[in-house]
Structure 1
Amino acid sequence: MTDRSSVPSEQRVFSLVLALVVSPSGLTKRELLSSVYGYAERFKPGEVTTALDRQFERDKEQLRGLGIQVETIDSPLEPGNNQLTRYRISRERLEFPSELRFSERELVVLRLAALAWQDGSLSAESRRAAMKLEALGAGLDVQHLGVAPRLGTVEPAAAALQGAIDAGRIVRFGYTLPGRDAPLERRVAPLRLHRADGRWHLLSWDLERTADRAFLLARIDGPVTVESARFDPALRDRADAAVEDLLRLRDAQPATVRVRRGSIAEARLVSRAHGEPEPSDGGGSATLDVTLGILDPHLFAAELIGFGEDAAVVAPESLRHLVAAGLRRIADAHGEAAHAE
């Protein structure tokens, strides 16, 4: 059973904004609490709604913090009667200043950037900004982007790491490596989060090995422990060089993948390609050969497996073996499941 109080606050407040904008004559508090997502699940007719009333007042304050003014309209029959007061948001007052304009594509890209971070690692200020973009109609239309926004997976470690980076504090975490059953503990000075090869990396100074290290957030196992100890601020100067090293490593490990035109595989991989993709067998081909650099062959193989028949490895042979091994494991697992049934 779903917890009725578990609706994320951003979803509830955004639903409130929509209700207040689309009701030109306004809505009473009772109408809002009984119908808006995030309130209605807990509203019970005839019962005292003190907790919901307080939540409604807090949400109005949050809207004011966003610069969104909630208008109150007294009842002409009983001025001052709070039960009959109506609330609304003027769409005109919700708009951006006249001198600030975004194109449709810019709004979509901003929204996509917000989706990339999601709730767990997006700052409170950025979440509020993303919600305001939504209220202004910045819907996500993939057709206007030409890429597939497969960004729903939150990196659980990102929030703690970014907080430690901002505070200059040392962190500890478990880190898994291919072929090892148990994670290894790492203790590092976190310097920067950097996205490369389609994945987030932590650039850091490894305190145990006294060397620059890059860690994939996807391989961090369990919670990140932020210590009270601080690292030398001068270490931050190493971050730019660490980014260059990461990119050199990626470029030194090229792979060529054959993708079906119009597929999610094409949308995801072409944006990371080195140079222009080429038709697999001349003009008019239904497939393209995409060459790109990779940092983690095992994770890249898992990504390719997820594309199914829309992607096939051309080179290198080692990557083809990883994909084939992964497909065999999936086939074996399904075979065992079918046998058990």
Structure 2
Amino acid sequence: MARSQVSSEERIFSLVLALVASTNGLTKHELLSSVYGYADRYNDAGQRVALDRQFERDKEQLRSLGIPVETIDSPGEPGNNHLARYRVPKTALEVPHGLEFSDRELMMLRVAALAWREGSLSAEAARALMKLESLGALIDAPRLGVSAGFGATDPAAPALLQAIGQQAEAEFDYQLADRNEPLRRRVMPLQLHRFEGRWHLISYDLERESPRVFLLSRIVGAVSVRVGSSTWNELPAAIETLIEEAVSGLQRLQEQQRVAVRVKPGSIAETALLSRSDSIQHGDEDCEIQFGTVDLPELATEIAGFGTEVTVLDPPSLQQLVRERFEAALELHSATRVENAHA
């Protein structure tokens, strides 16, 4: 298969199989020269540095999925990365002893995991899929008469994952909350990162020449992936450093931008917002919750959806944003009533 046809999912899965199958572990040379998705580029000297970096990123991705990649140092030369061996303990992907599923249960779990993966890009779903496949649950979802991709709220995700896997540039229109027209952005996508329950793209902005974070739900229209135009090796710092810088920026903003709301006990709003709180005061008839947030407009939209279950106490800017959403909903409702009356 040509290199352009090897998806990042295929490469990652092939790497897991190799790491699990080896009892004593495999060296980086053995993995890169034999694993599907690496081997076709291994003999190209010009690709060696990029391939090495990709392997390091893939290892970290496996660890983020909860798959422990063990590093075994060479007894003669501890610390030598060329002689170190890598493996994944077989127990890491085993279903707990005594737990069994019928064929129908396996089928339903497979469909659920596929839908979860496609809809939310969940790490838990990816890990569940690997365990199910180890049990033989290789179900062809389209043949079941259902779509495994339903519920996807971020249509930009597949193209961005493709760009990350191929180390390619991407262009898209980005709609800021305070602008009428979207802005065009040209970036090197680095990672999809979930923060405050929303998916963000961590990238290096090629126009601004700095790490930038974009909310996936604000990417409008199609994402253009420029395969073959990679400037990955020209980035000013290691990928991990750029990602850490971007995530640290999100965390700082979350700490600085504080929110206080009052919610009705037992409401859906209380359930949704309590998980974010770092300060809770329970009263006789209400509950005050405080937390930090990176995106006031997105939070305002969410809070407006809870209706009277939430009252914003602070900051005033969030109160205004929520008020604007209620007014917009009222205006739309009034216009619909007038239109129906004249129909």
Q: TM-score by structure 2 length?
A: 0.57
Q: SS state of the match for residue 230, structure 1?
A: coil
Measured in 1, the distance between the counterparts of 2:120 and 2:194 equals 17
Which residue in 1 is equivalent to 2:230? 230
The amino acid across from 1:256 in the alignment is A
- Residue 198 of structure 1: CA displacement? 2.1
Query: For the Cα contact (< 8 Å) 2:120–2:152, is it kept in 1?
Result: no
Measured in 2, the distance between the counterparts of 1:338 and 1:255 equals 35
Query: For the Cα contact (< 8 Å) 1:198–1:272, is it kept in 2?
Result: no
Give CA-to-partner distance per residue, 1:122-167, whole Å, 9 cap, x none. 799668448779x99xxxxxxxxxxxxxx95521111221222222
The amino acid across from 2:160 in the alignment is L
Which residue in 2 is equivalent to 1:269? 273
Measured in 1, the distance between the counterparts of 2:189 and 2:176 equals 19
Measured in 1, the distance between the counterparts of 2:285 and 2:163 equals 47
Q: Does 1:319 align with 2:323?
A: no
The amino acid across from 2:231 in the alignment is F
Measured in 1, the distance between the counterparts of 2:202 and 2:219 equals 13
Q: SS state of the match for residue 184, structure 2?
A: strand
- Residue 226 of structure 1: CA displacement? 1.0
Which residue in 2 is equivalent to 1:297? 296
The amino acid across from 2:253 in the alignment is L
Measured in 2, the distance between the counterparts of 1:121 and 1:157 equals 12
Which residue in 2 is equivalent to 1:245? 249
Which residue in 1 is equivalent to 2:193? 194
Q: SS state of the match for residue 208, structure 2?
A: coil
Measured in 2, the distance between the counterparts of 1:171 and 1:210 equals 14
Q: Does 1:278 align with 2:310?
A: no
Q: SS state of the match for residue 259, structure 2?
A: strand
The amino acid across from 2:169 in the alignment is I
**Which structure 2 residues correspond to residues 66-105 of structure 1 after superposition, within 5 A?**
96=95, 98=97
Shift of the 321–153 alpha-carbon distance from structure 1 to 2, 3 Å rule, reads farther
Shift of the 125–245 alpha-carbon distance from structure 1 to 2, 3 Å rule, reads closer
Which residue in 2 is equivalent to 1:288? 287
Query: For the Cα contact (< 8 Å) 1:171–1:190, is it kept in 2?
Result: yes
Measured in 2, the distance between the counterparts of 1:230 and 1:166 equals 11
Shift of the 331–97 alpha-carbon distance from structure 1 to 2, 3 Å rule, reads closer
Which residue in 1 is equivalent to 2:155? 156
Q: SS state of the match for residue 181, structure 2?
A: coil
Q: SS state of the match for residue 166, structure 1?
A: helix
Measured in 2, the distance between the counterparts of 1:321 and 1:207 equals 34
Measured in 2, the distance between the counterparts of 1:298 and 1:207 equals 26
**Which structure 2 residues correspond to residues 160-199 of structure 1 after superposition, within 5 A?**
160-199=159-198
- Residue 331 of structure 1: CA displacement? 0.7
Which residue in 1 is equivalent to 2:69? none
Q: Does 1:334 align with 2:333?
A: yes
- Residue 113 of structure 1: CA displacement? 8.5
The amino acid across from 1:317 in the alignment is P
Q: Which runs of 5 or more residues in structure 1 are unaligned?
A: 1-94, 102-109, 137-150
Measured in 2, the distance between the counterparts of 1:339 and 1:263 equals 33
Give CA-to-partner distance per residue, 1:241-262, whole Å, 9 cap, x none. 2101111011111111111222
The amino acid across from 2:244 in the alignment is D
Which residue in 2 is equivalent to 1:3? none
Which residue in 1 is equivalent to 2:259? 255
Measured in 1, the distance between the counterparts of 2:191 and 2:163 equals 10
Measured in 2, the distance between the counterparts of 1:208 and 1:223 equals 19
Give the number of the structure whose alpha-carbon radius of gyration is greater. 1
- Residue 182 of structure 1: CA displacement? 2.0
Shift of the 115–240 alpha-carbon distance from structure 1 to 2, 3 Å rule, reads farther
Which residue in 1 is equivalent to 2:305? 306
**Which structure 2 residues correspond to residues 10-21 of structure 1 after superposition, within 5 A?**
none
Q: TM-score by structure 1 length?
A: 0.57
Give CA-to-partner distance per residue, 1:299-338, whole Å, 9 cap, x none. 1100001111111101011100111111011111111111
Query: For the Cα contact (< 8 Å) 1:114–1:122, is it kept in 2?
Result: no
Question: How many pairs does the alignment contain?
Answer: 220
- Residue 205 of structure 1: CA displacement? 0.9
Q: Which runs of 5 or more residues in structure 2 are unaligned?
A: 1-93, 101-109, 138-149
- Residue 100 of structure 1: CA displacement? 7.8
Shift of the 240–263 alpha-carbon distance from structure 1 to 2, 3 Å rule, reads same
Query: For the Cα contact (< 8 Å) 1:119–1:127, is it kept in 2?
Result: no
More helix by share: 2
Measured in 1, the distance between the counterparts of 2:154 and 2:262 equals 29
Shift of the 259–132 alpha-carbon distance from structure 1 to 2, 3 Å rule, reads farther
Query: For the Cα contact (< 8 Å) 1:197–1:293, is it kept in 2?
Result: no
